[in-house]
Structure 1
């Protein structure tokens, strides 16, 4: 039974080794990241701005419409 415990300990790395492996994997993945070009950055910024404006219009219309509906129902 002593050999089973020894092999189990040798397979399982300690906390500091696991943290080090995790940080190494993060760095390896970050090296794969490709930064967007200025043109891509501007395009996505415009797209997000338009989406937010449309979402604001939808929410404002719903607020106004439901407010009018509540006024007609309750008074």
Structure 2
């Protein structure tokens, strides 16, 4: 292998390793933040539904559909 090819291969390997290190580190933190965001959104929706009359309307509609299926 020529000297020029060896230098190019070494440089490419170093860049790929650095990219992989930053890629795996950032993905782990990002995933935790995304899960936290999803949980916050779900909690906000549940609080909004339970705090208004929409929650009762939805509960009544679901109960009626279940009753229709049972009968």
- Normalised TM-score (structure 1): 0.47
Higher helix share: 2
TM-score scaled by length of structure 2? 0.49
Higher relative CO (CA 8 A, sep ≥ 6), structure 1 or 2? 2
